C-alpha cells in the first residue's frame, strides 16, 4: 500500500520537532513561532523542485530550519535598531498568495490519475528513487520515469490555467 504525505501531514509530523529545534536556539517564543512558519513556507515552495537524491525530506526540513535560525541570529541585532516604520514585513497579500499557491498545487496533485499521483508522492514527498518506485509498483524504470514526466507536465499545465 502506498502511503502519501500531504503538506498538512508534513506540517503535523514535523512542526513540533522544528519548533523545539528553533526554540532552543532563539530567545523569544514569538520569534521561534515566526521562524517555524517561515520554515514550512520555504519547504512547501521547495517541494516542487525537491530531489530526494540530495537529501531526505527530514534532512531538507532541518536544513531549512538551521538556515532560518542563522538568518534570524544574523539580523536580530540589525532589526532591534530599526523602528517599526523602517522594518520591512511581508504583506498579508504575499502570505495569502503563498498559501494559495500551496493549496493549488495540492488540488492539482489530487486531480492526477492515481498511479501518477502515487509516483509523485513517493518521489517528492517520501524521497524514493525512481528505481525503488518502479520495483514497488511492478513497473519498469522507463515506465515509472515516463509517468513521472507526464504527471509533472500535467501539473505544470493545470497550474498555468
Looking at the structure, do residues 81 and 94 belong to the same domain, yes or no? no
- Read off the C-alpha cell for 149: 514526466
* pTM of this structure: 0.46
- pLDDT of 85 over the 80 cut: no
Looking at the structure, do residues 34 and 95 belong to the same domain, yes or no? no
The whole-number pLDDT of residue 122 equals: 85
Looking at the structure, do residues 84 and 136 belong to the same domain, yes or no? no
CATH number of residue 110's parent domain: 1.10.10.10
Express each pLDDT in 61-84 by its tens digit: 888 888 888 888 877 655 555 455
CA distances 152 to 31, 73, 108, 116, Å, are: 36, 37, 10, 9
Domains contained in the chain, number: 2
- pLDDT of 49 over the 90 cut: no
Looking at the structure, do residues 95 and 155 belong to the same domain, yes or no? yes
d(CA 156, CA 143): 20
Looking at the structure, do residues 32 and 84 belong to the same domain, yes or no? yes
CATH number of residue 69's parent domain: 1.10.1740.10
Evaluate whether 36 touches 19 at the Cβ level (below 8 Å).
yes
Looking at the structure, do residues 46 and 85 belong to the same domain, yes or no? yes
- Domain end residue (candidates: 89, 107, 126): 89
Band (90; pLDDT cuts 50, 70, 90): low
| Selected residue with higher pLDDT from 22 and 57 | 22
The whole-number pLDDT of residue 109 equals: 84
What is the chain's mean pLDDT, rounded? 80
- Domain end residue (candidates: 30, 60, 89): 89
Looking at the structure, do residues 3 and 82 belong to the same domain, yes or no? yes
Can you give the residue range of the structural domain that contains 122?
Answer: 90-161
| Selected residue with higher pLDDT from 130 and 92 | 130
The share of the chain scoring above pLDDT 90, in percent, equals 20
Among 133, 149, 125, 127, smallest CA distance to 44 is for 125
- Domain end residue (candidates: 89, 111, 128): 89
Amino acid at each position: 500500500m502506498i502511503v502519501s504525505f500531504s503538506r498538512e501531514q508534513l506540517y503535523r509530523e514535523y512542526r513540533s520537532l522544528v519548533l523545539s529545534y528553533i526554540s532552543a536556539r532563539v530567545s523569544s517564543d514569538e520569534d521561534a513561532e515566526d521562524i517555524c512558519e517561515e520554515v514550512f513556507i520555504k519547504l512547501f515552495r521547495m517541494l516542487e523542485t525537491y530531489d530526494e537524491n540530495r537529501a531526505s525530506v527530514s534532512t531538507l526540513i532541518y536544513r531549512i530550519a538551521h538556515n532560518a535560525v542563522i538568518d534570524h541570529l544574523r539580523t536580530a541585532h540589525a532589526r532591534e535598531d530599526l523602528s517599526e516604520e523602517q522594518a520591512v514585513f511581508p504583506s498579508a497579500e504575499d502570505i495569502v498568495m503563498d498559501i494559495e499557491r500551496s493549496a493549488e498545487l495540492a488540488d492539482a496533485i489530487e486531480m492526477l490519475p492515481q498511479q501518477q499521483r502515487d509516483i509523485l508522492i513517493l518521489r517528492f514527498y517520501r524521497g524514493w528513487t525512481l528505481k525503488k518506485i518502479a520495483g514497488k509498483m511492478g513497473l519498469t524504470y522507463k515506465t515509472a520515469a515516463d509517468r513521472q514526466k507526464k504527471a509533472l507536465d500535467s501539473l505544470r499545465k493545470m497550474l498555468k490555467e
